[in-house]
């Protein structure tokens, strides 16, 4: 296909294609009665220029490994993307644009990953798209290190293009990620900022007056400013020159600050807040079509010649992909080991027997699950070169460092242990951006990454966690310091509601292992399942259970299992997670001495447990046993589903305090004696 160095002349058919794209955006919103027409109208020449003349892509092979990635960070302007997918021939047709925002259509309100071909990422929450694009750009560099560290080929060199809005750059997550992108010298990241100065409340200067260009230059970005034409239209020639210049900048990310007029060329709606999020109205749509030289009486109009011209990008894309394939074949022959790795990663496979590398922890020595996780992370890294990650400036506390992995930093960095293809990511204190970057790495498709912080700070990254679950991508979050066990750091750092809150996110696995061996098995499952998941790990040391006396930690794979059984039907079932499992075991011993048969169920992941069949769930929590106690050092929300009306919940329904963990657990009732008392109460309730 055409590239920046071999651009074909801009023709009258290109002008007609852009005019049609503007009208299609107005028509689609007008038909459904709601949406965001203005930005899609003004950005039509921008998106068309990108898809037709700069983006390396093959519409007939949307998953081509050598393609550039495109992120529409301003996801509310989804028509900007959908119309280009239609014009380029990704599979969308006019009927799909006519069904915009309707149920079961391929054109939902915001782009949804996995739903529409050509959509690389779900966007909508402002700022998340550009932040995840940073992750994609980082992933591209890491993958370059796996397959071509000597830079002998351009096979693994591609760009990540982004269109973002004022709203994206107002969100803090974009600032976090953009700052890191500058530090990382991500020359493969190209961002076009639609500076139209309009949002729902009107002129953005009511809240957003900073010098964005100066801010991004301070981040270490290459900034190019492109003014609008005198009539308000996009200066497409200046934009194309800026895009070409961005390709020549390979040591810095580029921000193209593009001045636009929203809803151009609508006679009355242009430049107005109303055009941002409302249909223009039939009269204004008709007047706009007149201004565009189109028939005002026709809707969803596109000339056959215009569509054929636009879809010629398919031939150009196929030719580029074929040339890539030919070069790839040569590389494959010359690099059999790297080619085998690439094949495995593209097929989402794991090497045979990889799990044998995972550590087994011996009983007799207490180990914090964060420490156990650190050992497991390094064991995984020893056999999976695609495994990399880091922390939001808490690596020593989170135990997320891959030993001798090298710091993932550009070669120009003056820091120690620099390796542009290193395995240790330093996210800085940027939790939200870290989450979005992990999502971008996962979406890029070949590697497995993780990011750590304290569990209490999962609040800062919840939006990214939710998007990972929504997209069903294998982002892995390592949260440590999981309870009042944090101790003297006090209530600001002691998560109370967090585990319960995270469990509310659909399609997301929350894992709170009871000991080191549960942690090891849980990591195995996370790597194997390739689904979104988050660990809640202890700061304090926990006993490593003697598995010759208690059940195997393999039960972790089923989410919940009987750790301590009884002869015959138990009188009561004690269900616990994390550090409270050892409390439940001690309580069972107390009850046993009093003639009460207590089953202890360790439930490290309720989501995995719920995914098991009904017969297995019944075998663990038989319906006939009504006496139950749930024990977890957090709010008790959700546990009533497991203990029933007769059950008791030993929980924490208030914030913690600054004191030693041992003191707090005793003060708040997380003791064997209190759990045993709750068990007796539940037995009485069940009679």
Domain-wise residue ranges, the chain: 12-311, 354-537, 556-686
CATH top-level class of 556-686: alpha beta
Helix (H, G, I), strand (E, B) or coil at 368: coil
Same CATH topology for 12-311 and 556-686: the answer is yes
Nearest to 605 by CA among 681, 523, 687, 483: 523
Which amino acids are annotated catalytic?
431
Cβ atoms within 10 Å, residue 282: 11
Q: Residue 8's pLDDT is what?
A: 87
Q: What is the CA radius of gyration of the chain?
A: 28
Q: Residue 244's pLDDT is what?
A: 98
Name the DSSP letter for residue 7.
P
Name the DSSP letter for residue 117.
T
Q: For the chain, how many residues are written? A: 687
Q: Which fold has domain 354-537?
A: Rossmann fold (3.40.50)
Q: For residue 419, give both structure tokens.
A: 């390796």
Q: Which fold has domain 12-311?
A: Rossmann fold (3.40.50)
Q: Residue 2's pLDDT is what?
A: 41
pTM to 2 decimal places: 0.98
Q: pLDDT tens digits, residue range 550-567?
A: 999 999 999 999 999 999
Can you list the residues of the chain whose pLDDT is less than 70? Answer: 1-6
Q: Residue 6's pLDDT is what?
A: 64
DSSP 521-570: HHHHHHHHH-S-EEEEE-SS-B----TTTS--GGGGGGS-EEEE--SSS-
DSSP 294-357: S-TT-SS---HHHHHHHTTHHHHHHHHHHHHHHHHHHHHHH-HHHHHHHHHHHTT---TTGGGG
Phi, psi (degrees; rounded to nearest 5) at 411: -60, -25
Name the DSSP letter for residue 66.
T
């Amino acid at each position: 296909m055409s590239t920046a160095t071999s651009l074909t002349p801009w023709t009258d058919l290109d002008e007609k294609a852009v005019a049609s794209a503007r009208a299609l955006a107005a028509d689609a919103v007008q038909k459904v009665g709601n949406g965001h027409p203005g930005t899609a109208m003004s950005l039509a020449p921008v998106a068309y220029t990108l898809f037709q003349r700069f983006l390396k892509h093959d519409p007939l092979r949307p998953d081509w490994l050598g393609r550039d990635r495109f992120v529409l960070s301003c996801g509310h302007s989804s028509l900007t993307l959908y119309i280009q997918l239609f014009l380029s021939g990704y599979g969308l047709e006019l009927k799909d644009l006519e069904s915009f925002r309707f149920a079961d259509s391929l054109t939902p309100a915001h782009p949804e990953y996995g739903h529409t071909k050509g959509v690389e990422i779900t966007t909508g929450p402002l700022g998340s798209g550009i932040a995840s694009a940073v992750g994609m750009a980082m992933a591209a560099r890491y993958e370059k290190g796996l397959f071509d560290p000597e830079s002998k080929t351009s096979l693994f060199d591609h760009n990540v293009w982004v269109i973002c809005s004022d709203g994206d750059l107002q969100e803090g997550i974009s600032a976090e990620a953009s700052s890191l992108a500058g530090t990382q010298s991500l020359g493969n990241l190209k961002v076009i900022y639609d500076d139209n100065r309009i949002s729902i409340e009107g002129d953005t200067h009511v809240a957003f007056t900073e010098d964005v260009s100066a801010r991004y230059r301070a981040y270490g970005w290459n900034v190019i400013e492109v003014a609008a034409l005198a009539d308000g239209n996009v200066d497409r020639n200046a934009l194309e020159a800026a895009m070409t210049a961005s390709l020549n900048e390979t040591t810095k990310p580029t921000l193209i600050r593009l001045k636009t007029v929203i809803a151009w060329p609508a006679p009355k709606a242009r430049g107005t807040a109303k055009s941002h999020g409302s249909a223009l109205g039939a009269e204004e749509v008709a007047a706009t079509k007149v201004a565009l030289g189109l028939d005002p009486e026709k809707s969803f109009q596109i000339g056959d010649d215009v569509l054929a011209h636009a879809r010629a990008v398919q031939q150009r894309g196929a030719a580029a992909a074929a040339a890539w394939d030919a070069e790839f074949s040569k590389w494959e022959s010359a690099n059999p080991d790297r080619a085998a790795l690439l094949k495995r990663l593209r097929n989402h496979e794991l090497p045979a027997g990889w799990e044998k590398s995972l550590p087994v922890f011996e009983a007799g020595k207490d180990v914090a699950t964060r420490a156990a996780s650190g050992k497991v992370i390094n064991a995984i890294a020893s056999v999976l070169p695609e495994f990399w990650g880091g922390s939001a400036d808490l690596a020593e506390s989170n135990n997320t460092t891959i030993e001798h992995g090298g710091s993932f930093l550009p070669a120009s960095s003056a820091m120690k242990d620099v390796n542009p293809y290193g395995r240790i990511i330093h996210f800085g204190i940027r939790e939200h951006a870290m989450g979005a970057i992990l999502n971008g790495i996962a979406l890029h498709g070949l590697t497995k990454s993780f990011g750590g912080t304290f569990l209490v700070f999962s609040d800062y990254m919840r939006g990214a966690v939710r998007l990972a679950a929504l997209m069903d991508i294998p982002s892995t979050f390592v949260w440590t310091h999981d309870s009042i066990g944090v101790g003297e750091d006090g209530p600001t750092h002691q998560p109370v509601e967090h585990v319960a809150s995270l469990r509310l996110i659909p399609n997301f696995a929350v894992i709170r292992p009871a000991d080191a061996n549960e942690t090891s098995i849980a990591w195995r499952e996370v790597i194997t399942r390739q689904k979104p998941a988050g660990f809640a790990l202890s700061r304090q040391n926990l006993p490593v259970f003697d598995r010759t006396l208690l059940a195997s930690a393999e039960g972790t794979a089923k989410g919940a299992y009987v750790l301590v059984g009884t002869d015959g039907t138990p009188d009561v079932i004690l269900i616990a997670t994390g550090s409270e499992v050892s409390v439940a075991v001690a309580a069972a011993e107390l009850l046993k001495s009093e003639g009460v048969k207590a089953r202890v169920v360790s439930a490290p992941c309720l989501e995995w447990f719920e995914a098991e069949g009904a017969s297995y769930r019944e075998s663990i929590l038989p319906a006939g046993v009504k006496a139950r106690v749930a024990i977890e050092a957090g709010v008790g929300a959700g546990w009533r589903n497991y203990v029933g009306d007769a059950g008791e919940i030993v929980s924490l329904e208030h914030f913690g305090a600054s004191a030693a963990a041992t003191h707090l657990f005793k003060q708040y009732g997380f003791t064997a004696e209190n759990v045993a008392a709750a068990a007796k109460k539940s037995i009485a309730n069940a009679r």
